[in-house]
């Protein structure tokens, strides 16, 4: 995993679902920023279209690379370029880490 700092030329936000009291004894789910405007590299891995229930669905699988972070979870979301990406996998590459790779998918029901 070799990247150069100059390749991290995109800005992303990372959000996490949190439970908040709704004031009536229940809870609501809302998205909270855990990291805003962090530098990242983005590369498209694949894309596909499928038809289900007479509806055309398009998905895109991307890899995002950020400076090393140990606070990310696979249930977090990435917002980039006006789209929301559901984090699918954060590979553990072992050893000293300079960067964290994040596999995320857009176009899915979040």
Q: How confident is the model at residue 1 (pLDDT cuts 50, 70, 90)?
A: low
Picking from 18, 49, 45, the residue whose alpha carbon sits closest to that of residue 102 is: 45
Question: Who contacts 18 (Cβ-Cβ below 8 Å, separation ≥6)?
Answer: 29, 30, 31, 32
Q: Determine the Cα–Cα distance for residues 80 and 44; give it in Å rounded to an integer.
A: 13
pTM for the model: 0.81
CA–CA distance, 66 with 41 (Å, rounded to integer) = 7
For residue range 8-37, list pLDDT tens digits in order.
999 999 999 998 888 888 888 899 999 999
Q: What is the pLDDT of residue 110?
A: 42
pLDDT for 109 beyond 60: no
Domain ranges of the chain: 5-106
Q: In the numeric block, which tokens belong to residue 82?
A: 């006006």
Q: Which of 78, 98, 106, 102 is nearest to 90 (CA)?
A: 102
Residues 64-82 have pLDDT tens digits of 999 999 899 999 999 999 9
Say yes or no to pLDDT of 50 above 90: no
Q: Specify the fold of 5-106.
A: Thrombin, subunit H (2.40.10)
């Amino acid at each position: 995993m070799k990247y150069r700092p100059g390749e991290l030329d995109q800005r992303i936000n990372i959000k996490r679902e949190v439970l908040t009291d709704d004031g009536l004894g229940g809870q609501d789910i809302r998205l909270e920023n855990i990291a805003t405007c962090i530098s990242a590299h983005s590369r498209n891995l694949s894309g596909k279209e499928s038809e289900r229930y007479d509806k055309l669905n398009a998905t895109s699988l991307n890899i995002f690379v950020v400076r090393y972070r140990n606070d990310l979870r696979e249930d977090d979301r990435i917002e980039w370029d006006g789209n929301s990406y559901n984090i699918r996998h954060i590979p553990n590459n072992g050893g000293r880490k300079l960067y964290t790779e994040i596999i995320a998918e857009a176009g899915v029901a979040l």
